[in-house]
Structure 1
Amino acid sequence: MSLFYKSTRDDSVKVTASQAILKGLAPDGGLFVPESIPSFDKSLEELSKMSYKEVAYEVMKLMLDDFTEEELKACIDKAYDEKFDTDVIAPLVKADGAYYLELFHGATIAFKDMALSILPHLLITSAKKNDVHNEIVILTATSGDTGKAALAGFADVKGTRIIVFYPKNGVSPIQEKQMVTQKGDNTYVIGIKGNFDDAQTGVKKIFGDKELEKEMAEAGFQFSSANSINIGRLVPQIVYYVYAYTRLLADGEIKAGDKINAVVPTGNFGNILAAFYAKNMGLPINKLICASNENKVLYDFFTTGEYDRNREFVLTTSPSMDILISSNLERLIYRIAGNSAKKNSELMESLKNTGKYEITPEMKAQLSDFYGNYATEAEDAATIKKLYEDTGYVIDTHTAVAATVYEKYKKETGDDTVTVIASTASPYKFTRSVMDAIDSKYDSMTDFELVDELSKISNVAVPQAIEDIRTAPVLHDTVCEVNEMSSSVKKILGI
């Protein structure tokens, strides 16, 4: 075993991969990052002959090297099974000159399934490896998709409970219905009167509450996280970028060593950070194209070097990206600060106190791998409509942000490198926004009438995840103020 994880805010913290997965967040509030990023030990040609599960093992074994081969393969087998509606797990679909990496074929029809199908198994294995006997309480904030994917992954998993906080008026109707109808004796869903950043900040505050941690331990509980701040979420996400490249290679679309671009719609920065890690492991990626919606805090950061959350929060049709504090960006900041916990801590303290920070010119120079841009609501809708009319292919609102930004990138640069666009959710998850974009005549239909109409025009069967919630009863109806989040957790746990 050679790879340890450090905290982005304290150089003295050093843990194994399984310990980092168990903790979720470092004690000092920092995020766990690998001391170094390992390189592939298989060639791209070898990887191109493998299935998704086999590629997953080859990538994840390098990052989670305190798991035995048997342990890791068992986790992978349990994750990528019949929960996915295709054996390929993450198909590539070519449309309008780009390759859409469909990451929504899992149980909850969003890309979060790719990591949250395996996280419960990584977590339970980690607990056994570290002789943890407490009940693990998964505490998560969601902007829409993480919540349902985490609930589905952890439902009725022995030795765990899961509590999900979501912004009551900040997710799509389908997203909310998916969460509030979730079965499982160990699942709890709470709407908060605030936005996602309020939920995320509240969860981080609970994690940092030492008094509560002590009460939890005395009652036989300990917290962990299913958010992308958990390295157990990030590592599985690296896999699908590697797999996408190897599919292009296997299909003769590229030759080994040819570079590709990756376009990722992102709010919390985890998904594109996984692509950055893939590049640093040896995947030939030319440009990491960071696509933002009208909450364009990341676009402004890549343009100016200043991160500033002091702005109006915009509710958009791509709600999973309605975020002003991009938690995973801290992992990149730590890296471009020369892996300096001191420098990173100073910047994060500035963010906490003033709502902004500015990186040095030397740090900004290290961001040349990235290109940032954003899409307006009108551009987003126009992209959905045009792609459908030109090709018959229907994408969701988040993927449309990425497709829009990719067109801007091509126009600015003339770069015609083979490009993979991360398609992060099924259009069925955001049916009303998608159908409104295609034609305003659908405006008077109910949500489920729109579902059936989308199936007709796209020639894609309604996913089981949607069929399951048509008549499902609401099982979770709790709503609380932001300052009541901690007491809500205590009430659930009986402490």
Structure 2
Amino acid sequence: MVYGMTLQYRSTRGNESNSLTASQAILQGLAPDGGLYVPVIFPKLTTPLKDLVGLSYQDLALQILKLFLDDYTEAELKACITAAYGDQFDTNLITPVHQAGNVNYLELYHGPTLAFKDIALQLLPHLMTTAMTKNNYDGQITILTATSGDTGKAAMAGFADVPNTRIIIFYPKDGVSAIQKQQMVTQTGDNVNVLGIDGNFDDAQRNVKAILNDSAIQAQLATQNIQFSSANSINIGRLIPQIVYYFAAYGQLVQNKTIALNDEVVFSVPTGNFGDILAGWYAKKLGLPIKRLLCASNENNILTDFFHTGQYNKKRAFHVTSSPSMDILVSSNLERLLFEVLDEDPTALSAFMQEFETAGSATLSTTAKTKLADFVAYDTDQAQTLAAIRQTQTQANYTIDPHTAVATHGAMAYLKDTKDTAPMVILSTANPYKFPETVLWALTAHKPLESGFEAIQAVSNVISLPVPKNISHLKRAKVRFDQTISVAQMAPTVLNILTH
């Protein structure tokens, strides 16, 4: 059975006549006009919420994914889900909720690379290879992706040695943690490549998008039957699976009697490229009782200012922080939200993005800004990040990473400002051992001399959380990739890798 085959995906910058099925949009990644694919008609959840509570993560994923990926058969989706959410996760819950003090942490780091990106990137390769078969594509798909730290490793882990695929990752050489870098440069697989760049994440992301849309490069690769796609959350195959864990969190809160069915909750989301929180917005649109979505930023607070003022302004200093996966000034997935608040008008959206890209700033009308009422936004500086880690450890005996700390500080500020009594769920996006230097700094109240594996050992001496095997084995892993290139070399390097 195929689920109706009615749902089509259009570009945020194009018209509906060029719409694609879900599997076609997953293969394409980024739309040819530079826009992002969104559903032409947003699907409706017909299953009552009470019937979703208590489902296994795998069964819940099927219920959500079939709404959006309706050109996949049930058997195809089940096969993809079964392969994605198995023993590579260290808990059957996949995304467990942990209560710490007066808040709840949705732990998204129980997969193979210990970060939330695993939830979607363990699934995407299976969706993509199935899509290749469905669409009779017999060439090679090259996954081209920029990473601010976690996406790169999670994407390579998902796509390593997947037939008929190749994956090329670019990361800012000074913009990831030592453990994130070690995870990437030691990745095994004959079809993987990872390169550092002399620039920041925005440089990497901007140039990856340019390469993906370069018609001359596309034509050259087409002669060898190679097509680009992406593993960033610009790909709807990355974005849609993230909706599931919002429902999973809600179901656990109902089951453990933290809330009653239909009670509203607030989610605090550490936010960089805006995919994680956009998935929450999509969950709310499906009917999940979300009262507010709290967009938590670090010192790169372009999104905080956007939600406060309606102005999207990248003309500001770029900060390298202790939460590197959020060191972003251009949040790609915000375009999907902008498309909605601009009444799904591709002309208006294109004009807004053109102004932003050329002038560095664009502002929503007062009417459009009122449609952002479901969001609140807070930003967090370095001292506040460290304080959040330290206080959570001291008060709740619970260790969090710096990204989760940003969301924790935002959550506490929101609760203090609003006196909101709705339960708070904080998305915990990475295992704290991925950022041991910052965690050690917070717990010992002084900047450590230790780094990398020495810092991991020092942290493990302070807290009761065991060091995951996927971290400890990195110390002995062979470095396979040590090249750093300039931003200008990105396109030639991609061609050299793919044509030689």
Query: Structures share a fold, TM > 0.5?
Result: yes
CA distance in 2 between counterparts of 1:279 and 1:167 reads 34
What residue in structure 2 maps to residue 9 of structure 1?
13
Q: Percent identity?
A: 50
Confirm or deny that 1:418 pairs with 2:411. Answer: no
CA distance in 1 between counterparts of 2:462 and 2:443 reads 10
Q: 1:134, 1:217 within 8 Å by CA — same for their partners in 2?
A: no
CA distance in 2 between counterparts of 1:180 and 1:97 reads 39
CA RMSD of aligned residues (A): 1.0
What residue in structure 1 maps to residue 394 of structure 2?
389
**What do residues 161-187 of structure 1 show as CA deviations (whole Å, max 9, x unaligned)?**
000000011100000000000110000
User: What is the TM-score of this pair, normalised by structure 1?
Assistant: 0.99
Confirm or deny that 1:487 pairs with 2:492. Answer: yes
What residue in structure 2 maps to residue 240 of structure 1?
245
Q: Structure 2 matches for 1:71-150, cutoff 5 A?
A: 71-150=76-155
Q: 1:3, 1:34 within 8 Å by CA — same for their partners in 2?
A: yes
What residue in structure 2 maps to residue 462 of structure 1?
467
Q: Structure 2 matches for 1:216-365, cutoff 5 A?
A: 216-365=221-370
Counterpart secondary structure, 1:470: helix
Greater than 3 Å deviation, 4+ residue runs: none
**What do residues 225-278 of structure 1 show as CA deviations (whole Å, max 9, x unaligned)?**
000100000000000001100111112221111111111000110000000000
What residue in structure 1 maps to residue 373 of structure 2?
368
Alpha-carbon shift at residue 442 of structure 1 (Å): 7.3
Task: Describe the shift of the 1:441–1:298 C-alpha distance in structure 2 as closer, same or farther (beyond 3 A).
Answer: closer
Alpha-carbon shift at residue 446 of structure 1 (Å): 4.2
Which amino acid letter does the alignment assign opposite residue 124 of structure 2?
L
Q: 1:16, 1:66 within 8 Å by CA — same for their partners in 2?
A: yes
CA distance in 2 between counterparts of 1:358 and 1:426 reads 37
- Higher mean displacement: 23-32 or 470-479: 470-479
Task: Describe the shift of the 1:442–1:301 C-alpha distance in structure 2 as closer, same or farther (beyond 3 A).
Answer: closer
What residue in structure 2 maps to residue 443 of structure 1?
448
Q: 1:442, 1:450 within 8 Å by CA — same for their partners in 2?
A: no
Q: 1:52, 1:243 within 8 Å by CA — same for their partners in 2?
A: yes
Counterpart secondary structure, 1:468: helix
CA distance in 1 between counterparts of 2:54 and 2:429 reads 25
**Structure 1 residue aligned with 2:201, among 183, 187, 196?**
196
Counterpart secondary structure, 1:15: coil
- Higher mean displacement: 170-179 or 463-472: 463-472
Q: Structure 2 matches for 1:135-214, cutoff 5 A?
A: 135-214=140-219
Alpha-carbon shift at residue 452 of structure 1 (Å): 2.6
Aligned residues: 495
Q: 1:165, 1:192 within 8 Å by CA — same for their partners in 2?
A: yes
Counterpart secondary structure, 1:351: helix
Alpha-carbon shift at residue 208 of structure 1 (Å): 1.0
CA distance in 2 between counterparts of 1:353 and 1:471 reads 46
**What do residues 399-421 of structure 1 show as CA deviations (whole Å, max 9, x unaligned)?**
00000001111111110101111
Which amino acid letter does the alignment assign opposite residue 411 of structure 1?
K
Q: 1:305, 1:364 within 8 Å by CA — same for their partners in 2?
A: yes
CA distance in 2 between counterparts of 1:39 and 1:128 reads 28
Alpha-carbon shift at residue 441 of structure 1 (Å): 5.8
Uncovered stretches (5+) of structure 2, i.e. residues with no partner: none
**Structure 2 residue aligned with 1:453, among 458, 477, 482?**
458
Counterpart secondary structure, 1:469: helix
Q: 1:136, 1:161 within 8 Å by CA — same for their partners in 2?
A: yes
CA distance in 2 between counterparts of 1:398 and 1:329 reads 19
Which amino acid letter does the alignment assign opposite residue 117 of structure 2?
K
Counterpart secondary structure, 1:18: helix
Counterpart secondary structure, 2:166: strand
Counterpart secondary structure, 1:371: strand
Counterpart secondary structure, 1:457: coil
Counterpart secondary structure, 2:474: coil
CA distance in 2 between counterparts of 1:44 and 1:328 reads 27
Q: 1:402, 1:421 within 8 Å by CA — same for their partners in 2?
A: yes
CA distance in 2 between counterparts of 1:444 and 1:482 reads 31
Q: 1:380, 1:400 within 8 Å by CA — same for their partners in 2?
A: yes
CA distance in 2 between counterparts of 1:134 and 1:47 reads 39
Which amino acid letter does the alignment assign opposite residue 120 of structure 1?
P
Counterpart secondary structure, 2:18: strand
User: What is the TM-score of this pair, normalised by structure 2?
Assistant: 0.98
CA distance in 1 between counterparts of 2:245 and 2:42 reads 17
CA distance in 2 between counterparts of 1:41 and 1:454 reads 47
Q: 2:436, 2:451 within 8 Å by CA — same for their partners in 1?
A: no
Q: 2:401, 2:432 within 8 Å by CA — same for their partners in 1?
A: yes
